[in-house]
Amino acid sequence: MLSLPLLRSLSSRYSPYQAFSPILFAIRRSMATAAAAEVVSPSTTRLGWIGTGVMGSSMCAHLIKAGYTVTVFNRTLSKAQPLVDMGARLANSPRELASQSNIVFSIVGFPSDVRQVLLDPEHGALSGLRPGGVLVDMTTSEPSLACDISAAASANNCASIDAPVSGGDRGAKNGTLAIFAGGDEAVVNRLNPVFSLMGKVNYMGPSGKGQFAKLANQITIASTMVGLVEGIIYAYKAGLNVASFLEAISTGAAGSKSLDLYGSRILKRDFEPGFFVNHFVKDLGICLKECQSMGLALPGLALAQQLYLSLKAHGEGNLGTQALILALERLNNVTLPAI
């Protein structure tokens, strides 16, 4: 196996045009193989975490509790303070964070945010990551962007994994998230000791496939949420005890993770976000864009996106996705009493 100093020396001797020669391609493949073989553990691996919102803060906390040295960054630095209090280091930029890390995780809001924190040439994480490092983007984002990040990482002798998650704030807190991973399978396997602290990793294929899997997940959830709130509205208008109704259907064919997570919250009028309406509108918009590219007609997805978009139009974008009940209440001129 070639040593890292020798690889750097060889790379520096070649012009930009020679950099794409078969020799250097083989060298880069060799580096990726070596990186994939390194063991990930608290004693040998330094982690970086970008994004300490509703999901990210809980996910990162599991890594700190497991004994990893973690450096964190968030645009609003005060939101990272609870993790700093747990022992994390605070960086002033994604680049600074990456310079102190072997693996950099990110979970931010929108594709534009992902591009900025990872690929910005001056301040982005990739610009500070050493050869052999790994970027792991856990944001729900565009599959094409995941491929762009992978290509950019490879050009810098690094690796990239797209690994969006599902399970909401409860899954993040309990370490039971479903993780959809796209990229080099050997790298995904290498990262499993860290992924397992947050949930169960599912390998979906090469770069971008993790994002495609998460978008398919969102399409499934969207129609499930519409069915859930429509059933609640119907049960209420029929004069049923809605709490008893939800309990009754929870063990039947209508039972679902969405019902388990959000049924009681809806009845309590608890619309605190486990997942923001704004972010779900973004996800469903990406789904519709991908459907257009594929020539797919998914009317359930389109309907759900319009209903969630109506929440955003009413200034309710920062509520949780369970606030969909509000859209159906307005359509039917009813308001469920809080339980």
Selection from 179, 173, 169 nearest residue 200 by Cα: 179
The predicted model scores a pTM of: 0.86
Residue 10 has pLDDT above 50, yes or no: no
Q: Output the pLDDT for position 12.
A: 43
Looking at the chain, which runs of residues are DSSP E strands?
Answer: 46-50, 69-73, 89-90, 103-106, 134-137, 159-162, 165-166, 177-182, 199-205
Under DSSP, is residue 216 helix (H, G, I), strand (E, B) or coil? helix
DSSP alpha helix (H) spans, 49-142: 54-65, 81-85, 94-99, 111-119, 125-128
Residue 27: CB atoms within 10 Å: 18
Print the SS3 string covering 283-320: HHHHHHHHHHHHCCCCHHHHHHHHHHHHHHHCCCCCCE
Q: Output the pLDDT for position 263.
A: 96
The tens digit of pLDDT for each residue in 37-75 reads 578 999 999 999 999 998 999 999 999 999 999 999 999
For the annotated catalytic residues, the residue numbers are 214
Residue 276 per-residue DSSP state:
B
Taking residues 11-19, what's their average pLDDT? 43
Selection from 42, 41, 45, 109 nearest residue 75 by Cα: 109
Q: What phi, psi does 304 have (nearest 5°)? A: -60, -40
What's the residue count for the chain?
Answer: 339
Taking residues 87-109, what's their average pLDDT? 97
Could you give the CA distance from residue 81 to residue 71 in angstroms, rounded to a whole number? 12
Residue 9 has pLDDT above 80, yes or no: no
Measured at the alpha carbon of residue 321, what is the angle toward residues 58 and 333, in degrees to the nearest 5?
A: 155
Q: What phi, psi does 44 have (nearest 5°)? A: -120, -10
- If phi > 0 it is left, if psi is from -120 to 50 it is alpha, else beta; for residue 199 that is left
The tens digit of pLDDT for each residue in 142-173 reads 999 999 999 999 999 999 999 999 999 999 99
Q: Token pair 């309907």 is at which residue?
A: 303
Q: How far is CA 27 from CA 36, 37, 129, 144, 152, in A?
A: 14, 15, 18, 26, 16
Q: 135 and 125 in contact (C-beta within 8 Å)? A: yes
Residue 18 has pLDDT above 50, yes or no: no
Q: Output the pLDDT for position 339.
A: 87
Mean pLDDT, the chain, whole residue set: 91
Residue 130 has pLDDT above 70, yes or no: yes
Residue 24 has pLDDT above 90, yes or no: no
Residue 330: CB atoms within 10 Å: 13
For the CA atoms of the chain, what is the radius of gyration? Answer: 22
**More confident position, 3 or 297:** 297
Q: Which domains does the chain have, with CATH numbers?
A: 38-207 (3.40.50.720), 213-332 (1.10.1040.10)
